[in-house]
Amino acid sequence: MTDVNKKMENILKLEPFERYKYFIKKIADWEVFYTLIDKNGEYVLSELEGQKLFPVWSAEEFAKLCMISGWENTAIRKLDLDDLENEIIDFIADSNCLINIFPIYDKTGFVVTLKEFAKDLSEELKNYQ
């Protein structure tokens, strides 16, 4: 097994909140993240207890793991902090979504509100300025 695979495996073993903290650090550092889109270019959402969830990952490899259970025909879309500010925040707010941080396979990740996510990311970004 390569070091990358070992690192991925270790990240996948983390509890959802630990993956959330990892995601926040990575997006603040790399300034990119990933989501899924359908064949029409629309963002893919999941639903949990009647609430729409917008999934995001820190790396393309993790997003690929979730292209199952109805998401087989989706594509990965790379986003950056400008996309977050100029498009994603409005999409999430207008769609009344929660953010599903780092789901694994067909299991929900750590779910946060847009406000919580923005606060945590803003705090972490201060460490990179």
pLDDT in tens, 59-75: 999 999 999 989 999 99
Q: Which residues contact 38 (CB under 8 A, 6 or more apart)?
A: 44, 73, 74, 75
Report the candidate in 86, 84, 87 with the shortest Cα–Cα distance to residue 56. 84
pTM: 0.92
CATH T-level assignment (fold) for domain 3-128: Trna Endonuclease; Chain: A, domain 1 (3.40.1350)
Is the pLDDT assigned to residue 4 strictly greater than 90?
Answer: no
Residues linked to residue 75 through DSSP beta bridges, in sequence order? 37
Q: What is the mean pLDDT of residues 109-113?
A: 97
Is the pLDDT assigned to residue 2 strictly greater than 70?
Answer: no
Q: What is the pLDDT of residue 59?
A: 95
Confidence tier at 111 by pLDDT (50, 70, 90): very high
- Mean pLDDT of the chain, nearest integer: 94
- The answer to whether the CB of 106 falls within 8 A of the CB of 20 is no
pLDDT in tens, 21-37: 999 999 999 999 999 99
Residue 70: CB atoms within 10 A of its CB come to 10
Confidence tier at 41 by pLDDT (50, 70, 90): very high
Q: What is the pLDDT of residue 3?
A: 58
Q: Is 97 exposed, middle or buried (0-12, 13-18, 19+ CB in 10 A)?
A: buried
Q: What is the pLDDT of residue 1?
A: 46
